[in-house]
Amino acid sequence: METVTITVEQTGCWLDNHRGHYITRDAILLAKDWGFIIDPFAEFAINVYEDWDGDESFPFETMVELCDEAVNWLNSGQYNCTFCNGTGKASNGWIDKDGVSRCKPCTGTGRGPRIAGQNFPPVVPDNYVWTFNDGDFGLYPIADLTD
């Protein structure tokens, strides 16, 4: 999977609050489009959520938990790997086709920390974070969230 880099011009609101309770599902789908891995049962729940008529009890709390995992994943891998210091090269890894020893914990990307069993998320600008803000979901400057 190719690594996507998001520029400062692409930051801000990605999903606005008019989506109502569907915003949690849509945030998961946004992450999934960039490589967030979910299990088949979660995929099924996401797919039937649109058609849920409210007659049966839907595990909405579980959808929120999965959304939290997706947001955590989107915010992971944004720093230098502590094993190779961001070089992607280390003696603890594997030898690539060019004969260079690559870092195993970051799979030679130089990025960290990595969530086990997941792909790396898109690279975001420094000091930006994926979060919910005033009901919207997007990529916002950390400084704006602490004011």
- What is the identity of the amino acid at 45? A
pLDDT at 57: 74
Torsion angle defined by CA atoms of residues 117, 122, 126 and 132, in that order, rounded to the nearest 10 degrees:
-90
Structure tokens at 91: 């003696």
Contact 67, 24 (CB under 8 A): yes
The domain ranges of the chain are 8-76+115-146, 80-112
Lowest-confidence segment of 10-24, 37-51, 53-67, 98-112 by average pLDDT: 53-67
User: Average pLDDT in the 96-121 region?
Assistant: 90
Q: What pTM value is reported for the model?
A: 0.88
The pairing of strands 111-112 and 79-80 is antiparallel
First to last CA, the chain: 36
Q: pLDDT class for 94, splitting at 50, 70, 90?
A: confident
Pair 109, 123: CB distance under 8 Å: no
